[in-house]
Amino acid sequence: MPRVPLFLKKWMTAPRPTEQRPDSLCPSVPEAPSLSEKQDITPKQIALMGNPSAGKSAMFSQMTGVTVIVSNIPQTTVMVQKGLSQINGHKLFIYDLPGVYSVTAVTEDEAATKEFLLGTPLDAVIDIVDATRLERNLYLTLQMLELGLPVVVCLNQVDLLKTLDLDIDVADLERELGATVVPTIATQGQGVHAALESAYHYAERPSKRAPRQVSYDDHIERAIAALIPLLPETSVPKRGFAARLLEGDEAFEARVDEHTLAIVKEFRDEVERAHGENVAITIARGRYSTAGLIASAVLVRKVHKLTLAERFGDLATRPRTGYPLLVALIGGMLALIFYVGGYLSDLMTSFFEGIVFPPVFRVVDAYVPNLLVTSAVHSTLLALAAALAIAVPYILVFFIFLAILEDVGYLPRVAVLLDRQAHIIGLRGRSIIPLLFGYGCSVPAIMATRTLPTKKERIITIALITMIPCSARTAIILGVAATYAGVQYAIAIYLISLVLIIASGRLLRSTVPGRTAGLVLEIPLIRRPALVPILKKTWLRMKEFFYVAVPLLVVGSIVFGWLEVTGLSRLIEAPMAPVTVGLLGLPAFTAICLIYGVLRKEMAVEMLAIASGTFIFSTVMTPVQIFVFCLVVTLYVPCVATFAVITRELNTRWAVGISIFTIVLALIAGGIAFRVLTYAHW
């Protein structure tokens, strides 16, 4: 047996040289893996693999200390993450791979996992197995063993077994699988050290135990036996290689000659004739029945009574209770953001306006002669105040709420509940999750569309995400429109955006070419949210705001102040006046706010505070103007970061197209709203 299985394409066709690793490496792994003589210096490479929602990211965070987004939602991780860990003084590289149900890729995130797995020399693979869904998870474990991967199994979430009245005999499971099994609770860090240690040991001294073989039906077994002598020497055991060839895995088909392929096809036809079904299904059945045998040997079931959490999960998907629950949660969330965020916002405002501003401004105005410097100081303080008083309170409360919903496992249930409605806009329930993420931030939401099975669904979902009021826009709607114009205006903005999203979805459904695939979605268990992970996740999401948004705002604010002082701002306001003043009926100084809003949405309103010189917007704008301004900011053009991520995920053409579409939509909606409300008032 090769000490370290390698999956490089080059190696698949050539006999494996002894004691040497190939020079060319997978592009996703820039660090050269250790040559055997340098083993102590170069860190071992360990990948975390497993089913969606098994807890890979939680484990990754615990092992590396790198905080990544962990949620109780299948397929939260969409790309390979890398981190550094240590065990007894030895460095280890840890890779967190997107979750997969099998080594057959359907969506882009799954393709990323397969590509990484087959293209990277790994010293050990930690297979995170969800203990509560043992049999289904073992299906992947068996495939990994079949591929000759150096597998160490983590039996994760063992704490939940008790609530489900299940029990697993770890020693038996170890014996059945022929692999090391470590029971863990990744969210609490239990067993993480032991898992790392086992993986490191495996990397140092691979296990001599023979891994569990899948027992296939007679036809498949005969075919495998006949194919084995024809296969090239690779790190993949020939039995597994033959099985993958039979099921039509393109990555393996590419590594054998035409002659072998022809024989494979003959066997495939023979098996299909005998079974009357696709050979991939016959093979899957073999793996599943082996997984079933193992599970029944190690799993003890006791009489189970539904827990409170299961009952809640049940209510969330039952239409009669699910819809009211959803409406109540959204309403409750908005109210919470409005009141708690508003309270924090008031505190901040009075702190800055009452305590900080007066003495500082008095001193600066009195003693600093240079107008540009005075302006810069004013602007910096205003920017800090705007960020902390307008944006942060609302965004913070929103992110905490979102984190709780994610960790509980509620969002996939919403996806199921709204599958029917999603059909109206040409989507399936699966898209609901990225769309809901869109209420947090468009960028990760757009990344999350990688889990969607077809291109058409991705395009429609991405386009609609840009129109969903993200947390920054929620801060604007609740912090400005609801506070200074009236709650009814805030509700109107939400309803208008919802109507426009549905209308755009219908339009896109009939214009975007391609097709959609039906909903197949695993529903995770309902879990009790824990405080620390929620705060960690919230901080991770807020961090970007403090490190990127605040400095940007300070610089933007200083520039703005200078434009004002030097009178250059007129040069920008004047050409935009036909749109801002003429079409939308806004004050001229909003032009620059709208431009800043392209950088970051919440900057539009922060700059509004800076431009108007007050946080009490009702003193400088009428309720209608505030409403129109917020409506336009909500709808118009994705922010720079969103534009960039659309360019990356789709292409520039789509990014530009979506931008133009939303600008036109925002101007039309704003123009109509201004006119209708003005007439209604007189």
Partner 1 sequence: MPQEHKLSPSEEEYLEAIYTRQEANAQAITTRNLAECLGVKDSSVSEMLKRLSEKGFIHYTPYHGATLTEAGLKIATKVKRKHRLLERFLVDICGVDKHESHEQACEMEHVISDAAVDTLSTQLGNPATCPGGSVIPEGEKGDETVISKLSKMGKGTYVIRFLTSPEPETISRLCSLGLIPGLPVKVLRKIANGPIIIEMKDTQIALGRDVAESLLVSPEEKEVEGRRRRKRRGAPPAAAAG
Q: Which residues contribute to the site for partner 1 (CB under 8 A)?
A: 100-102, 104, 106-107, 132-136, 139, 164, 166, 277-278, 280-281, 284-285, 288, 292, 295, 314, 317-319, 412, 415-417, 419-420, 428-429, 453-454, 515, 517-523
Beta carbon nearer to partner 1, 249 or 606: 249
Closest CB to partner 1 among residues 517, 588? 517
Nearer to partner 1, 428 or 541 (CB): 428
- Cβ nearer to partner 1, comparing 406 with 419: 419
Least gap, CB of 142 to partner 1 (angstroms): 12
User: Shortest gap between Cβ of 601 and partner 1 (angstroms)?
Assistant: 33
Specify the length of the chain in residues.
Answer: 682
**Which residue's CB is nearer to partner 1, number 136 or number 222?**
136
Q: Minimum Å distance from CB 305 to partner 1?
A: 15
Cβ pair 379, 361 in contact under 8 A: no
Between β-strands 44-50 and 166-168, what pairing exists: parallel, antiparallel or unpaired? unpaired
Of residues 28 and 163, the one with the C-beta less far from partner 1: 163
Residue 254 contacts by C-beta under 8 Å, 6 or more apart in sequence? 9
List of E strands, 131-272? 151-156, 166-168, 181-183
Q: Are 320 and 371 in contact (CB under 8 A)?
A: no
Q: Which residues contact 542 (CB under 8 A, 6 or more apart)?
A: 392, 395, 396, 399
Task: For residue 501, give every residue at least 6 positions away whose Cβ sits within 8 Å of its Cβ, in sequence order, or none.
Answer: 425, 464, 467, 468
**Which among 541, 562, 600, 544 is positioned nearest to 71, based on CA atoms?**
541
Where b means 16+ CB within 10 Å and e means fewer, 108-128 reads bbbebbbbbbbbbbbbbbbbb
Query: Which of 395, 427 has the CB closer to partner 1?
Result: 427
The two three-digit tokens of residue 573, written as one number: 């306001």
Instruction: Name the minimum Å distance from CB 430 to partner 1.
Output: 9
Amino acid sitting at position 347: L
Work out how close the CB of 287 gets to partner 1 at its nearest, in angstroms, rounded to a whole number. Answer: 9
Q: Give the residue among 623, 607, 625 at the shortest CA–CA distance from 615.
A: 607
Task: Report, in Å, the least distance between residue 177 CB and partner 1.
Answer: 17
CB of 140: closest distance to partner 1 in angstroms?
9
| CA separation, residue 22 to residues 113, 121, 551, 559 (Å) | 21, 9, 45, 54
Strand partners, 301: 166
Secondary structure (3-state) at 467: coil
**Nearest CA-CA partner of 372 in 566, 643, 634, 537:** 566
Report in angstroms how near the CB of residue 134 gets to partner 1 at its nearest: 7
CA distance 182 to 131: 11
Rounded least distance, CB 519 to partner 1, Å = 3
Closer to partner 1 by Cβ: residue 272 or 346 = 272
* Residue 102 or 307 having the CB closest to partner 1: 102
Among residues 133 and 601, whose Cβ is nearest to partner 1? 133
Task: CB nearer to partner 1: give 78 or 604.
Answer: 78
CB of 420 to partner 1, least distance (A): 4
At closest approach, how far in Å is the CB of 74 from partner 1?
Answer: 10
- Which C-beta is closer to partner 1: that of 467 or that of 526? 526
- Cβ proximity to partner 1: between 313 and 585 the closer is 313
How far apart are alpha carbons 10 and 24 in whole angstroms?
9
CA dist 94 and 208 (Å) reads 24
- DSSP lists the bridge partners of residue 86 as 91
What are the beta bridge partners of residue 182? 154
**Environment class of residue 477 by beta-carbon count within 10 Å: exposed (0-12), middle (13-18) or buried (19+)?**
buried
Nearer to partner 1, 383 or 417 (CB): 417
The angle at the Cα of 430, spanning 424 to 433, to the nearest 5 degrees, equals: 100
71 CB-contact burial (10 Å; exposed 0-12 / middle 13-18 / buried 19+): buried
Cα Rg of the chain, angstroms: 29
- Whole-number minimum distance, CB 292 to partner 1, in Å? 8
Least gap, CB of 137 to partner 1 (angstroms): 9
- What is the closest distance, in whole angstroms, from the C-beta atom of residue 522 to partner 1 in the complex? 6
Cβ-contact 234, 16 below 8 angstroms: yes
User: Contact at 8 Å (CB) between 149 and 119?
Assistant: no
Minimum Å distance from CB 520 to partner 1? 5
Please count the CA atoms within 13 angstroms of the CA of 654 that sit on its side-chain side: 21
CB of 277 or CB of 544, closer to partner 1: 277
The SS3 of residue 128 is strand
Rounded least distance, CB 322 to partner 1, Å: 8
Q: Which is nearer to partner 1, 115 or 522 (CB)?
A: 522
Q: Which residues pair with 93 in a beta bridge?
A: 45, 84
Cβ atoms of residues 117 and 7 within 8 Å:
yes
| Residue 90: burial class (beta carbons within 10 Å; 0-12, 13-18, 19+) | middle
Q: Contact, 404 vs 513, CB < 8 A? A: no
Q: How far is the CB of 517 from partner 1 (least distance, A)?
A: 4
Residue 218, both tokens = 């007679």
Instruction: Indicate the residue among 107 and 580 with the shorter CB distance to partner 1.
Output: 107
Nearest C-alpha neighbor of 514 from the set 448, 459, 445: 459
In the chain the first and final C-alpha atoms are separated, in Å, by 86
